[in-house]
Amino acid sequence: MSAESITATFNDGTTDLVFNRQSLTGFKSRWSGANNVITDRRFIDIDHQMKPTGALGTDTHLLTLRQEKINSTTGASVVASVGLVIKVPRDTTVSTTNVKDLIALTMCLMNHGFTDTFVLGDTPSGDFHVDGPYNPVRA
């Protein structure tokens, strides 16, 4: 069952943003920031591409966060987005724990030290172990 809203926290670690469900069609849903205005909008898109019950193959889960702003000088729409794809094979060779470990490792890498370098086109190196809000066990 799908929730009616999602609350997430901004980069400052204290300010929350509520996303309200805008649409739900099959396994796809769109969420819209509660404080959206025409010149500054945030969205969450979720899409589950599931194989039929009993079928082999891979289920794919997509999460996309998007911010759309209007350039006040040109009037052009400017979009920033972050996407996550989780692929889960329907084969017991890869366990649920294996998938959860991959998600935990990804969450640890999505901290400031890693992403600040990564978005500049570099390959970060170092210790990105996190005992804080990015650690899924503590979330």
Q: Are strands 5-9 and 16-25 parallel, antiparallel or unpaired?
A: antiparallel
- Considering the domain architecture, whether residues 81 and 101 belong to the same structural domain is answered as no
Is the whole model's pTM more than 0.85, yes or no?
Answer: no
- pLDDT exceeds cutoff 80 at 131: no
Same domain, 82 and 108: no
Q: How far is CA 105 from the centre of its chain?
A: 14
Q: How confident is the model at residue 48 (pLDDT cuts 50, 70, 90)?
A: very high
Question: Which percentage of the chain shows pLDDT scores above 70?
Answer: 90
Residue type, 69: K
Q: Do residues 46 and 104 both lie within one domain?
A: no
* Domain edge (last residue) among 52, 72, 90: 90
Domain that holds residue 105: 95-139
Helix extents (H) in 6-135? 96-109, 112-118
The count of domains in the chain is: 2
What is the pLDDT, as a whole number, of residue 127? 75
Whichever domain contains 11, its CATH number is 2.40.160.220
Q: Are residues 46 and 101 in the same domain?
A: no
130: number of Cβ within 10 Å: 19
DSSP bridge partners of 69: 40, 78
- Please give the pLDDT value at position 113: 75
The closest alpha carbon to 135, from 110, 107, 113, 116, belongs to 107
